[in-house]
Structures are given as C-alpha cells and as structure tokens.
Amino acid sequence: MQRRVRRVTAVFSAAVASILLSLSLAAVPARAATHNPVIFVHGIRSSASSWDDWIADFEADGYTASELDAWSYDWSQSNVTTAQQLATEVRSVLARTGASKVDLVVHSMGALSARYYLKNLGGTSYVDDFVSTAGVNHGTTVASWCKWLYTSCSEMYTGSSFLTALNSGDETPGSVAYASYWSNCDDLLTPDTSAILSGATNVEVGCISHTDMNNDYGVYQQVRTFVG
C-alpha cells in the first residue's frame, strides 16, 4: 500500500512540475530579433578596410561579426558592374545569416552602385535601410581629374548620362528607409549638397572631411540610430 502511495505521489509531483515548467516558459518573453546584417560599400580608391572603425563600433554596440559585411571590389569598373556584384553579395549574406533583409551603409561613390542595385536590380525587396555618407548622389566636378581614366569616375562626374538615368524619377524607390549624411565643407563633393536625396532623411553633420565621414564616431552614432 505504501509503495502504491509513493508511486501516485511521484506521478502527481511530476505532473505538477511539468505544469509549472510550462507556465514558466510561457512567461519568458520571445527572443529579440537579430539585427539586419549590414553590408558596407566603399568608394573610389578605397577598400573594405575603410570601414574598420565603424565595424568595431557596431560590434561594441552588440552586432556580431557575421552581421557585418565589408567587401572590396574593383572601384575602377563601371558602377553597373559593381551593382551586379553587390546583388550577389546581398544574396550571399542573406543565405549565410538566414536574414530576410540587409541594411546598406555606403560611402562616397559607393552610393552609386548601391542605388543602381536598388533601382534597377530588384534590391528594394532585400534592403531595409539605405545609408549614404558623403554620397556622390548627384555627381561632383572634382571627378574631372579621373573621368578620362576610369569608367566609375566618369559616371560620377556631374551631368553624366549614368547620373541622369539614376536620378530620373524616384530617387528613393521602394519601401526602403533612406538617409543621407553630408558635410558642409566636403572638398571632394562639389557642390556638397550633391549628397542630398529627394525623399530621404537628409542630415547635415557639420564640417567633417570627405574621407572622415565613414569613420567619424558622431556620424556613426546617427547612422546606428537610423538603422536601429
């Protein structure tokens, strides 16, 4: 009889423990969503290493290395070719991370290939936030020094056919959230207001040099908040 009582007691205790465990698990909030992976696109005469400071800042703010993708490309080639390579990079990052969308953070000429991808290659379906820092969105006359040497440079010269087509119609297509951060003393972007995008959140960050725009911590903080 005592053995039967002990057995019934054990079964009852196990059932109670199971119920309490279920209630406990139900009370635990759902796991927070992971960050969108960030793909960084550098500009002319640059490389992935130009993002080292910001990658360290993102990691300090909780991003993992797998969520941060700085890649290098041949900056002398057409921005159309780079946009096609960016499309491949986005697919690779999404497949690797399991994310549904990425954020694009670009500097200088990197804005052109990224925007071409968004406008012409279906990128708006795979990008959540687009951030341009010192982006040559409407060209620069400074490109006159290299437009005879490199296809990419000729495309970013003010009034080029590439820019005319890129900026025709909607400059910020799709449901992507767009932001453009620009300096009022950018000697390499003339005029510096060339960075402004119609339909974007446009932020003048003060007097920061063109080459410092994508490693300045104050600008980083604003970018980090935007991609949130």
The model's pLDDT over 180-205, given as tens digits with 9 standing for 90+, comes to 999 999 999 999 999 999 999 999 99
High-pLDDT (> 90) share of the chain, %: 85
What is the arithmetic mean of pLDDT over 154-183? 98
Higher pLDDT: 64 or 6? It is 64
In order of 47, 157, 174, 188, the CA distances from 193 in angstroms are 25, 15, 23, 12
pLDDT at residue 170 tops 50: yes
CA dihedral angle for residue 157, residue 162, residue 168, residue 172, rounded to 10 degrees: -80
| CB within 8 Å of 69: residues ≥ 6 apart | 37, 38, 39, 40, 89, 93, 102
Local confidence band at 8 (pLDDT 50, 70, 90 cut-offs): very low
pLDDT in tens, 31-82: 344 899 999 999 999 999 999 999 999 999 999 999 999 999 999 999 999 9
SS3 68: strand
Helix (H) / strand (E) containing 6: helix 2-27
Using CA of residue 215, residue 220, residue 226, residue 228, what is the dihedral sign?
A: positive
pLDDT in tens, 112-141: 999 999 999 999 999 999 999 999 999 999
pTM for the structure as a whole? 0.85
Q: How many Cβ atoms are within 10 Å of 101's Cβ, its own excluded?
A: 15
Euclidean distance between the first and the last CA atom of the chain, given in angstroms as a whole number: 64
pLDDT for 34 = 81
